[in-house]
Amino acid sequence: MLKEGEKAPDFLLPDQHGNPVKLSEMLAQKNVVLYFYPKDETSGCTKQACFFRDMYEEFQEQGAEVIGISSDDAASHSKFAQKHQLPFVLVADAGGKVRKQYKVPRTLGVIPGRVTYVIDKTGTIRYTFNSMTKPLEHVQNTLKVLKNL
């Protein structure tokens, strides 16, 4: 995984509507919570996304934008976001190129990992959290970090 203090790699990926999302453009306006998750519509990923949804207003109040990222395509992200009324961006990392840039580990060597990064407006990683089995802590922990930035 990338570590706190390292620069976050920039990326340009399509969101759930097919629109391009460039990390550096988002960072020009807000801090970013970038969370990598395994797959749309799986139990832990749905719980995590819905908790980010429920706490989204607090993230906004802390001057942060949330971006979810997995290798699912834009159509899958669109259905997932619509079904669960997700107010934030989901980006499609086809082939896992960005996941590799961020050095997100796989669980048991095959399952894409669940890692969350808090990136400040300078593009510096301020916090990392890696836990496949604690999807809700990703949300709670990042909110605490943002309140102290």
Return the active site residues.
45
CA distance 108 to 21: 30
CA distance 102 to 34: 10
CA distance 107 to 111: 5
The bridge status of strand 89-92 relative to strand 64-70 is parallel
The bridge status of strand 12-14 relative to strand 20-22 is antiparallel
